[in-house]
Amino acid sequence: MSGLKLKQKRSKIEAFEEEEEVDEIPVKQYFSDPKNVPGTSTKTSENEPADNALAQLEYELQQPQLNVHEIGRIITEGMMEKQLSDESLGELARKLAKSIQGIPNIDVWNLADELSKGVLDSRLVVIGNAFLWNLLKTSVSAVRDKFEQYHHKVSRISSNATTSTKVDFVSSRVQPGEHLVPEGRFFRKTDLLDVFHQVVFRKTGDVFNKSKQFIRAYLVRATTPRCAVWHFSLRQSGTSHKKILQDIPHHVLDTLLHFLLSLCGLGDRELALNFEELNVRTRFFGTLGENDEARQTEFEHLKTTRENMIARFRTCVTDVLNEIREMPYNYASQELLPPPRGKRVDHQQCVTWRQYETLVKKCESNPSKENLEAKQELDYQLRFTYEMDIEIEDGIDK
């Protein structure tokens, strides 16, 4: 009898315990299992960040799914414990903006569900979202800066490619009388645009081949007499063992180079200045770009291109002057003839630079009456003036 009562008592106790288990209502947590739910900084592995609010926040922001409530909690507690400040948060945002590949997603559906049930503190969610908004703005600014740098690099590469392949002479860039070589001791007064219009350029030539054609067309008619151009050179190194040669006058060279640059669209005088010296009210300044950074980039590109073109054009002038000294002069027609290139020269009516140079050297080494008379006769045939003769003698004495 006592055994039956004990058994019934045990049954009642077990039934009561089962009823308590049924009536128990579990409190739902935001993350039931931190190990399996992404987006939480609650870690138990060896990769757990240091016990520092800034390190915890950085770790949380690198998770595959963002937990805005946890981010807000870390920021709030970090600021209360003085581990975080507005400056440190801004520095972290700038750091992540440069290195982060993209901002992870937020589970909006789950977040709304938890907020509606009152499980989450909405104040922490607002703080977390505010920081993420600042991070997004910083990231967008970083992307924009990188894009502008890339755009400028691409623009410069494109401009360089255009300069090397598409630069050509355009006569409409020059006005009549704008590039006028004034009359001097030896050089005639000449409008370079008139000479340019008379040249028939080769269709297959590039801008430097065309420049040689034009320079030759000008120099063979530039002086009086035309063979006087023999005496001029453009020394690239500034020195020469041939003392009989003179440098081409600066006003002639400057006008010639500026004319060639203007034909290429690089004739603006501002390109000889520095960017800081430019007048912001000029038409040239307005064509450089929409902001100072773009203007300076374009200006430096144009300036570099101009300097390279000047060097190439100077080389063209030197080459043409050397070629002209291979051209015989017909003192009957008073014309420079094409180089003989192996053909015999009619010495009865023509004289070459080599002949003239040899006679000058003879007079220098042996100023005998015979040599001086021979030179005087040749000068008369070539119609060299006494003034030219004195200039040549001065060149010998240098």
Helices (H), the chain: 2-23, 53-61, 68-80, 86-99, 108-116, 122-166, 192-198, 207-219, 250-263, 283-286, 292-324, 353-365, 369-382, 386-397
Indicate whether 43 belongs to any domain.
Answer: yes
User: In degrees to the nearest 10, what's the CA dihedral of 366, 371, 375, 378?
Assistant: -150
Domain of residue 259, residue span: 171-325
**Same domain assignment for residues 63 and 180:** no
The residue from 325, 349, 364 where one domain ends is 325
**Same domain assignment for residues 119 and 216:** no
Indicate whether 162 belongs to any domain.
Answer: no
The residue from 274, 301, 325 where one domain ends is 325
Answer for the pair 187, 181: CB distance below 8 angstroms, yes or no: yes
Indicate whether 330 belongs to any domain.
Answer: no
Indicate whether 376 belongs to any domain.
Answer: yes
CA distance 352 to 217: 19
Answer for the pair 278, 268: CB distance below 8 angstroms, yes or no: no
Using omega within 30 degrees of 0 as the cis cutoff, is the peptide bond preceding 26 cis?
no
**Same domain assignment for residues 229 and 316:** yes
Output the pLDDT for position 26: 44
- Residue found by looking up tokens 């040549």 in the block: 392
Answer for the pair 84, 57: CB distance below 8 angstroms, yes or no: yes
Sign of CA dihedral 192, 193, 194, 199: positive
**Same domain assignment for residues 295 and 232:** yes
Indicate whether 11 belongs to any domain.
Answer: yes
> Over its length of 398 residues, how does the chain's per-residue pLDDT go in tens digits?
545 554 555 555 555 455 544 444 444 343 334 444 444 444 444 444 456 888 888 888 878 788 888 888 988 888 888 888 888 888 888 887 776 666 778 888 888 888 888 888 888 888 888 888 888 888 777 777 776 666 555 555 544 544 444 678 889 999 999 999 988 888 999 999 999 999 998 887 788 999 999 999 999 999 888 888 998 988 765 555 566 788 899 999 999 999 999 999 888 888 888 888 888 788 888 888 888 888 888 888 888 888 999 999 999 999 999 999 999 998 888 889 888 877 777 777 888 888 888 888 888 888 888 888 888 888 887 777 544 443 444 443 33
**Same domain assignment for residues 152 and 179:** no
Number of domains in the chain: 3
Q: Give the number of other Cβ atoms within 10 Å of residue 391's Cβ.
A: 16
Task: Give the contacts of 240 (CB within 8 A, at least 6 positions apart).
Answer: 233
**Same domain assignment for residues 108 and 52:** yes
Output the pLDDT for position 203: 81
**Same domain assignment for residues 392 and 288:** no
Indicate whether 165 belongs to any domain.
Answer: no
Output the pLDDT for position 12: 54
**Same domain assignment for residues 263 and 232:** yes
Q: Give the number of other Cβ atoms within 10 Å of residue 229's Cβ.
A: 26
